[in-house]
């Protein structure tokens, strides 16, 4: 037997449900959301939140749109108690928000919990005890009757205290903790016993929260448990079935989604998934999943950077760069083919069309990200990303043939620097590679005469003075290429030419791109000027300057 021995684990025993219906269901609307960041999330932190951090987090949760917020475990923590008092005494809870507090099903804790809530307008009292086989047998050493009694007594106690404070609008919530490790018929039996005490009605519902305290199965098995529970519990019409999943197997969101398909009404979770061990299920991911399917999640997650910054400041945990919808890199494409596809789709995308962009499940702008972050160029990138960046940032619409030429130059730089090439470095590289129309020769005065053939007479200015050149052709460019060829004793053939007006950062300027063959070698030149003839002949001069520089290097070598 090796130390890594799978036979020491037993497979999860699924609930016996044959005619399950949930797989045919879809999620069609947002559940009721309850944030447990300030309780479950906070309990799991190396350094629990200070009151100041809790205040900041609470404000965020309200702004995001949670109407039910579990603010703490006041009977277990003085800080939580004080925070609940502050919320109430300082009138910090909006009228449409329920604060929720957790308590074990023990009379003295329930009493203290109600003390913390004195004067609250609306409150959810969340009482729990563990019902699982493991906890019954090994932790409490109690039989099923004993565990059920704890739940019943807790429920009675919760009800009695509430009756003493009719000024508050109370909602009762019960969790059979470790529900997923509980025999389903027993879970139903305990919940029936609790609702026998609380006597909810369809107009006055209670919340029954079914936690995957530890995630122990594939999400479909959790969904089976939820469907089984919903079918068999007595007062289904008088309760909101709530889910509280953890992420031990990495499927907290998936389990919650399938649980909703199986009939649940409400979801407890945290923003970005902080919580015990591998975390609570992440409300951001689940809500954004809905959003990406055209469903209003009824939460405002558009200011993702604020959410991240508050969560990080309060939990002292970093958000992973690949965290769904929120991570710094999740809308970024490095691979050339991805960049190419994104560029093409973005060019087709208009505001009146449904979002349909390869590799981007949502529009990054919806969560406050910009398109500039979408494409980042590193040594893995291709021409698409480079072209996209230059166009978005500087309005340079590089022709395809120039994209092909420029891409390996950028990749070389990325490999050399071992990282991402930012837009400015890319532009610098573009200018030094192609916009070489000023050294050693720059265009001085020129005159273009149009007749049967076009004639150009131009001055080229160097450090050492001015030279005059002249040439003919069927257009300015070919006349100038003849002039250059004659003067420098080169054969200059134009292969490609493109121009466009510049729209970014300049009024009425034109950019010209040329590709030429000079004595058998290919060169690319680019120039910007106020008129298109000037920019094209300077682009051509740029190629000749490159040839001269190449010849100089060769002769020095
Ligand atoms: O994970 C859990 O079971 C809990 C309960 C207290 C609901 O946090
Ligand atoms: Zn939990």
The residue nearest atom 8 of ligand 1, judged by CA position, is: 40
Q: How far is the CA of 433 from the centre of ligand 1 (A)?
A: 61
* Residue 84 phi, psi dihedral angles, 5° rounding: -65, -40
Strand (E) or helix (H) holding 152: helix 144-163
pLDDT at position 505 over 70: no
pLDDT score of 1 more than 70: no
Give me the residue label for tokens 């006041």: 74
Q: Residue by residue, what is the 3-state secondary structure of 233-262?
A: CCCHHHEEEEEEEECCCCCHHHHHHHHHHC
Q: How far is the CA of 164 from the centre of ligand 2 (A)?
A: 29
**How many whole angstroms separate alpha carbon 514 and alpha carbon 526?**
6
- Rounded CA-CA distance 389/424 in Å is 10
- Look at residue 2 in the predicted model and tell me its pLDDT: 66
Segment 320-323 long-range contacts (CB within 8 Å, at least 24 positions apart): 323/272, 323/273, 323/285
Confidence of residue 451 (pLDDT cuts 50, 70, 90): confident
Three-state DSSP class for residue 509: strand
pLDDT > 70? residue 262? yes
For residue 507, the model assigns a pLDDT of 66
β-pairing verdict for 206-212 and 239-245: parallel
Q: What percent of the chain has pLDDT over 90?
A: 86
Helices (H), 418-475: 423-434
Q: Which two tokens stand for residue 277?
A: 């061990």
Burial of 129 per CB tally in 10 Å (0-12, 13-18, 19+): buried
Residue 257: is its pLDDT beyond 70?
Answer: yes
pLDDT for position 31: 98
User: Tokens representing 314?
Assistant: 């309060």
The best mutation among 211, 214, 281 to test binding of ligand 1, ranked by most ligand atoms within 8 Å of the C-beta, falls on 211
Question: CB neighbours (10 Å) of residue 412?
Answer: 12
Instruction: Order the strands of the 509-518 sheet from edge to edge.
Output: 492-502, 509-518, 521-529
d(CA 367, CA 360): 13
What is the distance between the alpha carbons of residues 350 and 395, in angstroms, rounded to a whole number?
Answer: 19
Which residue in 381, 462, 366 sits closest to 419, CA to CA? Answer: 381
| Residues 309-366: tens digit of each pLDDT | 999 999 999 999 999 999 988 998 888 788 889 989 999 999 999 999 999 999 999 9
Residue 59: how many other CB atoms lie within 10 Å: 12
pLDDT at 19 (0 to 100): 94
CA distance 152 to 174: 10
Size (the chain), residues: 557
- Cα 126 to ligand 2 centroid, rounded to whole Å: 12
Can you tell me the distance from the alpha carbon of 87 to that of 320, in angstroms, rounded to the nearest whole number? 31
Q: What span, in angstroms and rounded, lies between the C-alpha atoms of 59 and 48?
A: 17
pLDDT at 504: 62
- Read off the pTM: 0.81
Task: State the closest ligand 1 atom to the C-alpha of 40, by its place in the atom list counted from 1.
Answer: 8
d(CA 484, CA 494): 12
Evaluate if residue 382 carries a pLDDT over 80. Answer: no
Which residues does 503 contact at the CB level (< 8 Å), separation at least 6?
Answer: 395
Mean pLDDT of the chain: 94
Q: Is the pLDDT of residue 443 over 90?
A: yes
Nearest ligand to residue 275 Cα: 2
The protein residue whose alpha carbon is closest to atom 5 in ligand 1 is 177
Nearest atom within ligand 1 for CA of residue 214:
1
Q: Convert the pLDDT of each residue in 67-120 to its tens digit.
A: 999 999 999 999 999 999 999 999 999 999 999 999 999 999 999 999 999 999
Known binding residue 340? Answer is no
Handedness of CA 31, 36, 40, 42 (dihedral sign): positive
- ω before 155 within 30° of 0 (cis)? no
Looking at residue 422, its pLDDT comes to 86
Report CA 375 to chain centroid distance, whole Å: 15
The mean per-residue pLDDT over the stretch 179-197 comes to 98
Tens of pLDDT, residue by residue over 4-55, are 999 999 999 999 999 999 999 999 999 999 999 999 999 999 999 999 999 9
Phi, psi torsion values for 216, nearest 5 degrees: -120, 0
CB atoms under 10 Å from CB of 152, counted, come to: 17
Per-residue model confidence (pLDDT) at position 371: 65
**Residues near ligand 1 with C-beta < 6 Å?**
40, 102, 128, 175, 177, 209, 211, 213, 244, 246
How do residues 270-296 score in pLDDT, each as one tens digit? 999 999 999 999 999 999 999 999 999
Looking at residue 506, what is its pLDDT?
Answer: 55
State the helix-helix crossing angle for 219-232 and 252-261, rounded to 10 degrees.
30
> How many Å apart are CA 510 and CA 401, to the nearest integer?
19
pLDDT at res. 245: 98
Residue 419 confidence (pLDDT) above 90: no
Task: Count other C-beta atoms under 10 Å from residue 282's C-beta.
Answer: 26
442 φ/ψ angles, rounded to the nearest 5 degrees: -125, 150
pLDDT tens digit sequence for 118-172: 999 999 999 999 999 999 999 999 999 999 999 999 999 999 999 999 999 999 9
Nearest residue to 485 via CA among 540, 523, 420, 413: 540
Classify residue 388 by its DSSP letter. H
Q: Residues lining ligand 2 (ion), CB within 5 A?
A: 40
Nearest in space to 104 (alpha carbons), one of 131, 136, 130: 130
């Amino acid at each position: 037997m090796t130390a890594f021995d799978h036979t020491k684990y037993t497979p999860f025993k699924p609930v016996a449900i044959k005619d399950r219906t949930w797989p045919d269901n879809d999620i069609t609307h947002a559940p009721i959301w309850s944030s447990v960041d300030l309780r479950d999330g906070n309990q799991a932190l190396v350094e629990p939140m200070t009151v100041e951090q809790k205040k900041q987090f609470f404000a965020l949760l309200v702004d995001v749109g949670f109407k039910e917020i579990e603010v703490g475990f006041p009977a277990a923590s003085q800080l939580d108690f004080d925070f609940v008092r502050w919320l109430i005494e300082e009138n910090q809870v909006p009228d449409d928000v329920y604060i929720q507090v957790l308590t074990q099903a023990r009379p003295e804790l329930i009493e203290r919990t109600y003390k913390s809530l004195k004067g609250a307008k609306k409150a959810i009292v969340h009482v729990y005890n563990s019902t699982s086989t493991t906890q019954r047998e090994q932790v409490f050493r109690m039989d099923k009757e004993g565990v059920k009694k704890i739940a019943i007594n807790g429920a009675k106690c919760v009800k009695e205290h509430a009756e003493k404070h009719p000024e508050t609008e109370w909602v009762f919530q019960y969790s059979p903790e470790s529900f997923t490790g509980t025999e389903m018929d027993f879970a139903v039996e305990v919940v029936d016993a609790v609702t026998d005490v609380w006597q909810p009605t369809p107009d006055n519902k209670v919340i029954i929260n079914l936690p995957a305290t530890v995630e122990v199965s594939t999400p479909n098995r959790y969904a089976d448990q939820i469907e089984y529970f919903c079918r068999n519990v007595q007062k289904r019409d008088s309760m909101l079935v709530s889910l509280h999943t953890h992420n031990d197997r990495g499927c907290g969101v998936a389990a919650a989604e399938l649980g909703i398909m199986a009939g649940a009404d409400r979801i407890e979770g945290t923003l970005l998934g902080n919580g015990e061990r591998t975390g609570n299920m992440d409300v951001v991911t689940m809500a954004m999943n809905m959003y990406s399917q055209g469903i209003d999640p009824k939460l405002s997650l558009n200011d993702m950077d604020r959410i991240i910054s508050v969560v990080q400041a309060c939990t002292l945990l970093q958000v992973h760069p690949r965290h769904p919808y929120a991570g710094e890199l999740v809308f970024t494409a490095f691979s050339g083919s991805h960049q190419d596809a994104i560029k093409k789709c973005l060019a087709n995308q208009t505001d009146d069309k449904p979002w349909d962009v390869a590799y981007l499940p949502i529009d990054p702008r919806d969560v406050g990200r910009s398109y500039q972050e979408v494409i980042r160029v590193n040594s893995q990138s291709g021409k698409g990303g480079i072209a996209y960046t230059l166009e978005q940032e500087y309005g340079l619409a590089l022709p395809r043939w120039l994209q092909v030429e420029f891409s390996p130059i950028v990749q070389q730089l990325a490999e050399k620097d071992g990282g991402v090439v930012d837009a400015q470095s890319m532009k610098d590289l573009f200018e030094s590679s192609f916009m070489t129309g000023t050294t050693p020769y720059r265009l001085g005065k020129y005159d273009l005469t149009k007749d049967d053939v076009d004639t150009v007479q131009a001055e080229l200015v160097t450090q050492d003075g001015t030279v005059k050149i002249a040439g003919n052709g069927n257009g300015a460019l070919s006349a100038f290429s003849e002039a250059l060829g004659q003067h420098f004793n080169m054969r200059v053939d134009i292969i490609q030419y493109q121009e466009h007006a510049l729209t970014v950062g300049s009024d009425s300027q034109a950019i010209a791109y040329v590709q030429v063959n000079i004595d058998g070698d290919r060169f690319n030149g680019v120039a910007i000027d106020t008129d298109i003839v000037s920019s094209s002949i300077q682009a051509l001069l740029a190629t000749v300057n490159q040839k001269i520089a190449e010849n100089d290097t060769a002769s020095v070598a």
